[in-house]
Amino acid sequence: MPKRRSKRSQAIYLTLVYMTMTILVVCIVGILMLLTLGYDFNTKSGKLEQGGLVQFDSRPAGATVMFDGQRLSGTTATKLTAASGDHSVTMQRAGYRDWQKQLTLHHGEVLWFTYAVLVPTNLTPERLASYTVPTSSLATTPSKWYVVMRSDGSPTIDRYDLTQNSPKATSVAIPADSFTAPAEGKPQRFEPIAWADDNRTLIIRHTYNDTASEWLSLDIEDTAHTHNLTKQLGIDIKQLQPNASDANRLYVVTTSGELREIKLGDMSLGRVLADRVASIATADSGTITYQTLPDEKSVRTLGYYTDGATKSRSIQSIPGASHLQVMISKYFGDHYISTIQDDRMSIVKVNLPASDSTASYTTTPVTTITVPAGASLSANTNQRFVMAASANAFAVYDIELQKSTTTTLDGVATTPLRWLDNFHLAAARDGRLVMYEFDGTNAQTLASNAAAGDVTFAQDGRYIYYMAAPTPGSYELTRVKLIN
């Protein structure tokens, strides 16, 4: 028979067992916590390091994901915990071109690559309508309507509903009593400039008799509510910008340099908000920015106006700049002022008071980068990205990741860059319709016969719409299917 342990030995044995179990439990819990926090053994450095989380998705879904050459077990949408450092990712799906990206993952960081648009290997343009002369076109954001002027000299608009599987033209006539008829033998041109926030009020610039111009607001669903802003308000308009959150309100810069507000409901013209204004811009829905003409000392003033305030407010005076742009944007509740001065763009974070407030505001520098000469400022819909774009290049600053990229564009611009959604841009270059991501990667040629005109996704992303010129003297509203 085995010898019975003494009470003392038994107590020591149980103590060792409990201690061992406790240590094992603590180790297992610790390992699980480290895994939860993204820690992993880095085979390159031989150290235990905190990695990060990478999320993947694609349109269409169901793509395989290759991460550093290794295939993940699932398809998009999927995710991966990876060691910090530089990595490569490729998304692949049968019948589509590969999507690739180089990334740098930092400790504890979460990266979202959920915006990949996979482009079919074979693209076939589909003609929707033909026009015999070059025309102007404009899509709403989001892509509900796409309008095409029947011809630039015709007061007739073809309206296409992009939510339909097979959009058909609905003709909308601009009422003849709402615009000035040109003198006999003189030309006229109707150009859609902007959509109001309701996506039914269209701003149109009408030029006639060679040099005269007037601005119209047209309700495309009820043309009886068409206004000749120039005549009815007795002002000559140089620039017009719809209020980004109220379709009833417009901001205008007059030829005399006055910044004023128009209310369409009662066709009233508000007080002068700023004078000597050269141009205005808006990204944040509650704020409009402006820059003045140079004074006698070549000094220009940058300022802003907030909705409902009694007056505007100056931000900064800048002497001697040959090229100047300013824009206020808002990302996750924080305001940012972006300024281009010649070939330098500066971005500062600011606690922005109402423009009629006496409260002071503080600025925190974010970045200063070199941008293409003559660049114009814009932001994507959610205002995460600030873009400075010229005819031949664009620079983008990512406010979330605090990273900038610069992309040089091949060829000659047929159309300027346009944001398609929060992550993609498009432009026609030498007649090629090209789609870019915000950082210039994954550039994809979608068509070879693009003409001047607007470019837009369908709301579900299934198609991209554009104006084509398949043969000289022929112009077509065309779409390409992106999801088979």
Supply the pLDDT for residue 474.
Answer: 87
CA distance 465 to 480: 7
Q: Which residue has the tokens 């509510």?
A: 225
12 φ, ψ (degrees, to nearest 5): -65, -40
Q: Which residue has the tokens 């900064």?
A: 316
**C-alpha 426: how far from its chain's center?**
11
Instruction: List Cβ neighbours of 271 (8 Å cut-off, separation of 6 or more).
Output: 260
Model confidence at 21, pLDDT cuts 50, 70, 90, reads confident
Average pLDDT over residues 190-207: 94
Average pLDDT over residues 443-447: 96
Supply the pLDDT for residue 5.
Answer: 58
CA distance 56 to 278: 44
Is the pLDDT reported for residue 152 higher than 80? no
Supply the pLDDT for residue 36.
Answer: 58
Instruction: Show me where the domains of the chain are located.
Output: 7-36, 40-117
Pairing of strands 64-67, 85-92: antiparallel
The CATH class of 40-117 is mainly beta
Q: Which residue has the tokens 């925190």?
A: 364
CA distance 149 to 127: 17
Model confidence at 40, pLDDT cuts 50, 70, 90, reads low
Run of H or E residues at 59:
strand 52-59
Model confidence at 286, pLDDT cuts 50, 70, 90, reads confident
Average pLDDT over residues 197-204: 94
Least confident window among 140-144, 278-282, 445-449, 477-481: 140-144
pLDDT tens digits, residue range 64-116? Answer: 999 999 999 999 999 999 998 999 999 999 999 999 999 999 888 999 999 99
Model confidence at 35, pLDDT cuts 50, 70, 90, reads low
Average pLDDT over residues 12-35: 73
Q: Exposure string (b/e) for 131-164, b if CB count within 10 Å is 16 or more?
A: beeebbbbbbeebbbbbbbbbeeebebbbbebee
Is the pLDDT reported for residue 13 higher than 80? no
Q: Do 388 and 345 contact (CB within 8 A), yes or no?
A: yes
Supply the pLDDT for residue 20.
Answer: 81
Instruction: Output the furthest CA–CA distance in the chain (Å, rounded).
Output: 125
Average pLDDT over residues 405-428: 94
Supply the pLDDT for residue 361.
Answer: 84
Average pLDDT over residues 321-330: 91
pLDDT tens digits, residue range 328-364? Answer: 999 999 999 999 999 999 999 999 999 999 998 889 9
Model confidence at 211, pLDDT cuts 50, 70, 90, reads very high
pTM of the model: 0.88
Model confidence at 3, pLDDT cuts 50, 70, 90, reads low
Is the pLDDT reported for residue 375 higher than 70? yes
Supply the pLDDT for residue 92.
Answer: 97
Task: Tell me whether the omega of the peptide bond preceding residue 61 falls within 30 degrees of 0, making it cis.
Answer: no
Is the pLDDT reported for residue 217 higher than 90? yes
Q: Which residue has the higher pLDDT, 258 or 470?
A: 258
Q: Do 222 and 198 contact (CB within 8 A), yes or no?
A: no
Q: Average pLDDT over the chain, rounded to whole?
A: 91
Q: What is the DSSP string of 216-254?
A: EEEETT-GGG-EEHHHHHT--EEEEEE-SS-TTEEEEEE
Pairing of strands 259-263, 268-269: antiparallel
Model confidence at 34, pLDDT cuts 50, 70, 90, reads low
Start-to-end CA distance of the chain, whole Å, equals 78
Model confidence at 41, pLDDT cuts 50, 70, 90, reads low
CA distance 57 to 294: 49
Supply the pLDDT for residue 256.
Answer: 96
Is the pLDDT reported for residue 380 higher than 70? yes
